[in-house]
Amino acid sequence: MLNKRKKEIGGFHKYLIPLLLCGVFLFFCGVRAQAQELPSISAQSAALLVADTGEFLFEKNAQQQRGMASTTKIMTSLLAVEESDPNRVITATEAMVRVEGTSIGLQAGDKITLRNLIYGMLLESGNDAANALAVHVAGSIEAFTALMNKEAKRLGCVDTNFV
């Protein structure tokens, strides 16, 4: 009986040290994780969330309203790809190329694929490319803006308003 008891204790001790070491390791990892400072973000606002749950992992002024900036171009790309063939050739009009800010250098009469307009808009921040896509998809900038707002609401972006 004593031999059997000794084997049981010996078997338990075989696992005791690794278990204790794992416990100590996990404890100090937890303490370290709590002691870490939040990341330093230079942006005025930022948010990192889990897409499946909507849980915020990090936020900085996440509820403060800001200008749309490149989000507008992302939505424009999304709608352009959904509404038209990326290989479709578009002829630029005067209304499409009349913009302020950055440009890919489109001129009225230029022929360019929808795909290349998207590249020019996203990679070069071409406002003329964005206008050309908007007019091609919806007929006018105003009609395209309404389409963008409708899509934003459909996607659940309830505080989003394109103008």
Local mean pLDDT, 10-residue blocks, the chain (163 residues): 49 53 54 56 85 87 79 92 92 91 94 96 93 94 95 90 88
Cβ partners under 8 Å of residue 84, min gap 6:
114, 136, 137
pLDDT value, residue 154: 94
pLDDT value, residue 2: 46
pLDDT value, residue 107: 95
Nearest 10 degrees: Cα torsion 8, 13, 16, 21: -160
pLDDT value, residue 15: 54
Distance, in Å, from the CA atom of 71 to the CA atom of 76, rounded to the nearest integer, reads 9
pLDDT value, residue 32: 46
pLDDT value, residue 160: 87
**Measured between alpha carbons, how far is residue 24 from residues 11, 36, 103 in Å?**
21, 19, 59
Q: Which of 135, 55, 70 is nearest to 102 (CA)?
A: 70
pTM higher than the cut 0.75:
no
Structural element, H or E, at residue 48: strand 46-49
**Measured between alpha carbons, how far is residue 102 from residues 52, 94, 106, 123, 127 in Å?**
36, 16, 11, 11, 6
Phi and psi, residue 86, nearest 5°: -60, -25
pLDDT value, residue 5: 46
pLDDT value, residue 113: 96
Catalytic residues: 70, 73, 125
Task: Find tokens 């330093």 and name the residue.
Answer: 40
